[in-house]
Structure 1
């Protein structure tokens, strides 16, 4: 169900977006490593100075596995006081609209910044869980705004770009103003060219 939901969203985005972009690159697919680790799909608009990114990946895998959250932790401690590995990282779905500016002459290096929203799905262990029977916690959904900024280098003569970006997520529901930093590097390949 969840897989088909995400695939449906991606399919609708790709079908509904204008495929007659004036910029040579139209759609790119990439891999992000860091926080999050996952898939990146980018749609270019106008002359490549605006984009819409969809990121699907991990939430709290590298940073935040053992953080306090609301009235409990994301991970349980065992009798020795060490965190257990029974509570893995969650999943996140993120959409960000970005503005891009070239650095220097040419379009090889660009800086970008953008804003959007993020939805997370993760196991949480509240104090009530520790007292009750559900020692492994409960799955829950959280959401809020997100933003990032980064730099991208497009390799000359091919459709590959290397990028580094950093940003943050601010949860609105259910834990108002819970913050989660994000930093990742990756590679993107332009797979659909404009007309």
Structure 2
């Protein structure tokens, strides 16, 4: 009887570990960008990931940009379509990569305004890659990711790093 019960518990635990792929995950990212993160898993390979938060606070508030500077952090919305795979056939460690876009809103201080600013919105593409570790119960995961944002509008080919880490609760 104990063996049957133990086997059922093990099978149920394995099912819980796989259940994260067809569900949602919510969490928090710290880095570039920093903010709230939501991920929707579609199957064992694909997911859609959205982060809403701030941009420019970690890599640097003061940055040369066009004919002026950024001097603050701003609002950011980032979305990626992801592919994720187990690393070394482990259900606990996954690597992922993806492509998507990013919209940022920051104060731009052009040299021509001598201290004044304009609100600047930038649009562009971004790529990301990362590692995610699922705690043994499968509900909580921690991740570290990196990538780049390549602005298209208003300054084509302005490249900015995206580096962040965080935690997610898999629902």
Q: TM-score category by the smaller chain?
A: 0.7 to 0.9
TM-score by length of 2: 0.85
Residue of structure 2 equivalent to 1:35: 32
Alpha-carbon distance between aligned partners in 2 of 1:163 and 1:169, rounded to the nearest angstrom: 19
Q: Aligned to 1:186, which of 143, 166, 170?
A: 166
Distance 1:65 1:106 in 2: 39
Q: Please, which runs of 5 or more residues in structure 1 have no aligned partner?
A: 1-22, 76-87
Aligned length: 152
After superposition, the CA RMSD in angstroms is 1.1
- Which of residues 105, 113, 124 in structure 1 aligns to 2:89? 105
Partners of 2:116 and 2:27 in 1: how far apart? Answer: 34
Partner of residue 46, structure 2 = 50
Cα distance in 1 for residues equivalent to 2:70 and 2:164: 22
Length-normalised TM-score, structure 1: 0.75
Does residue 1:24 correspond to 2:19, yes or no? yes
Superposition map of 1:46-195 within 5 A:
46-47=43-44, 49-75=45-71, 88-130=72-114, 135-191=115-171
Q: Deviations over 1:52-87 (max 9, x none)?
A: 000111111011311110000113xxxxxxxxxxxx
How far apart are 1:101 and its partner, in Å? 1.1
Larger-gyration structure (1/2): 2
Moved over 4 A (4+): none
Identify the residue that residue 15 of structure 2 maps to in structure 1.
Answer: none
Output the CA distance in 1 between the equivalents of 2:107 and 2:147: 23
